[in-house]
Amino acid sequence: MADVTMIPQGNLVVAHVPSHVRIGGSKKHPLETKSAHKAYMGCDVLLSSEWGQGIVKAFNATDQSNCSALLENSNVPANELGSYDVAEIAAMCKPRYHVSPSVDEVNRLHFAALPYLNSFNEPSRKCHISRFIALGKVQAGKVPKEKKFLHAVNIMTLTNLDQQSLYDGVASAVACPYTTDNYMVASAAEGISSNGGKAGGLSEAAARSIMLESASSSGGPQDFRWSGKRKRQTGGDNPNNTTLHISWRNKESSENIAGVDILQKLAPYGCSKVRLPPPRSAAADNSMNKFGFLEFESHEKAKSCLVEFTDASTGNCGMQVGAIFFHLNWGKGGTASRGETKKARLTEVEAQDSSSLFFSIRRKTPELTTDEFSTYLEYMRVIAEKGLEDAILDGESTSETRITAKDEPALAVEKSEVGQQNSYGFLRFASHAAASMAVQVLTGSLDGGILLPDNLEGPYKNDLSGAVLYWAPPPKKATEKSSHKFHKKHFPSDSRKDCWFCLASPTCEQHLIVTVRDTCYVAMPKGPLDDFHSLIIPVGHDDGKVGALCGSSAGEVDEVKDQLRSFMRSKLNKEMFVFERAFQTKGGYHSHVQCIPLHSDAVKDLYSTIMKMSSDLNFEFKAVESDLGLRAIVTSSEGEGYFYAEIPTLSG
Distances (CA, A) of 607 to 602, 604, 629: 10, 7, 21
CA angle 20, 24, 26 (to 5 degrees): 110
193 DSSP 8-state letter: B
Q: Higher model confidence: residue 432 or residue 143?
A: 432
**What's the pLDDT band for 439 if we cut at 50, 70, 90?**
confident
Dump pLDDT digits (tens) for 497-506. Answer: 567 778 777 7
Q: What is the pLDDT of residue 559?
A: 94
Q: What is the mean pLDDT of residues 139-167?
A: 72
Q: What is the pLDDT of residue 619?
A: 77
- pLDDT surpassing 60 at residue 46: yes
Cβ contacts of residue 279 below 8 Å, gap of 6+?
285, 287
Phi, psi of 294, rounded to the nearest 5 degrees: -115, 125
Q: What is the mean pLDDT of residues 24-49?
A: 74
Pairing relationship of beta strands 111-112 and 129-135 according to DSSP bridges? antiparallel
Specify whether the CB–CB gap between 161 and 152 falls below 8 A. Answer: no
- pLDDT surpassing 50 at residue 80: yes
Specify whether the CB–CB gap between 557 and 563 falls below 8 A. Answer: no
Distances (CA, A) of 480 to 133, 434, 476, 484, 487: 56, 31, 13, 9, 12
**What's the pLDDT band for 344 if we cut at 50, 70, 90?**
low
To the nearest whole percent, how much of the chain has pLDDT over 70?
64
Cβ contacts of residue 305 below 8 Å, gap of 6+?
244, 266, 269, 270, 271, 296, 328
Is residue 356 within a helix (H) or strand (E), and if so which, with residue range? Answer: strand 356-360
Phi, psi of 178, rounded to the nearest 5 degrees: -90, 65
Dump pLDDT digits (tens) for 372-387. Answer: 888 888 888 988 888 8
Specify whether the CB–CB gap between 601 and 609 falls below 8 A. Answer: no
Q: How many other CB atoms are there within 10 angstroms of residue 216's CB atom?
A: 14
Q: Measured between alpha carbons, how far is 386 from 381 in angstroms, rounded to an integer?
A: 9
Q: Measured between alpha carbons, how far is 381 from 543 in angstroms, rounded to an integer?
A: 34
Q: What is the pLDDT of residue 496?
A: 47
**How much helix, strand and coil, in percent to the nearest 5, is found in the chain?**
30, 20, 50
Q: What is the pLDDT of residue 442?
A: 85
Report pTM: 0.41
Q: Which of 335, 214, 201 is nearest to 276 (CA)?
A: 201
Pairing relationship of beta strands 356-360 and 324-330 according to DSSP bridges? unpaired
Distances (CA, A) of 348 to 34, 437, 447: 9, 11, 5
Grouping H, G, I as helix, E, B as strand and the rest as coil, residue 468 is strand
- pLDDT surpassing 90 at residue 217: no
Q: What is the pLDDT of residue 29?
A: 64
Q: Measured between alpha carbons, how far is 634 from 626 in angstroms, rounded to an integer?
A: 13
Specify whether the CB–CB gap between 574 and 586 falls below 8 A. Answer: no
To the nearest whole percent, how much of the chain has pLDDT over 90?
11
Q: Measured between alpha carbons, how far is 16 from 279 in angstroms, rounded to an integer?
A: 29
HSE at residue 192, side-chain half, CA atoms within 13 A, is 11
Q: Measured between alpha carbons, how far is 109 from 648 in angstroms, rounded to an integer?
A: 55
Q: Higher model confidence: residue 367 or residue 434?
A: 434
Is residue 289 within a helix (H) or strand (E), and if so which, with residue range? Answer: strand 289-296
Specify whether the CB–CB gap between 79 and 182 falls below 8 A. Answer: no
HSE at residue 562, side-chain half, CA atoms within 13 A, is 5
Q: Higher model confidence: residue 226 or residue 484?
A: 484
Specify whether the CB–CB gap between 143 and 136 falls below 8 A. Answer: yes
Q: Which of 253, 203, 236 is nearest to 81 (CA)?
A: 203
**What's the pLDDT band for 166 if we cut at 50, 70, 90?**
confident
- pLDDT surpassing 70 at residue 204: no
Q: What is the pLDDT of residue 4?
A: 60
- pLDDT surpassing 60 at residue 59: yes
Dump pLDDT digits (tens) for 550-600. Answer: 778 888 999 999 999 999 999 999 999 999 988 766 545 678 999 999 998
**What's the pLDDT band for 144 if we cut at 50, 70, 90?**
low
- pLDDT surpassing 80 at residue 331: no
Q: What is the pLDDT of residue 294?
A: 87
- pLDDT surpassing 50 at residue 493: no
Cβ contacts of residue 339 below 8 Å, gap of 6+?
219
Specify whether the CB–CB gap between 288 and 225 falls below 8 A. Answer: no
Q: What is the pLDDT of residue 53?
A: 84
Specify whether the CB–CB gap between 441 and 455 falls below 8 A. Answer: yes
What number of residues does the chain have?
A: 652
Q: Measured between alpha carbons, how far is 617 from 39 in angstroms, rounded to an integer?
A: 5
Distances (CA, A) of 372 to 385, 406, 423: 20, 25, 10
The letter for the amino acid at 259 is G
Q: Measured between alpha carbons, how far is 177 from 113 in angstroms, rounded to an integer?
A: 10
Task: Look over the chain and give the mean of its residue pLDDT values, rounded to a whole number.
Answer: 73
Q: What is the pLDDT of residue 230?
A: 40
- pLDDT surpassing 80 at residue 517: yes
- Per DSSP, the residues of 539-604 read SSGGGGGT-TTTSTTHHHHHHHHHHHHHHHHHHS--EEEEEEEE--BTTB-S--EEEEEE-HHHHH
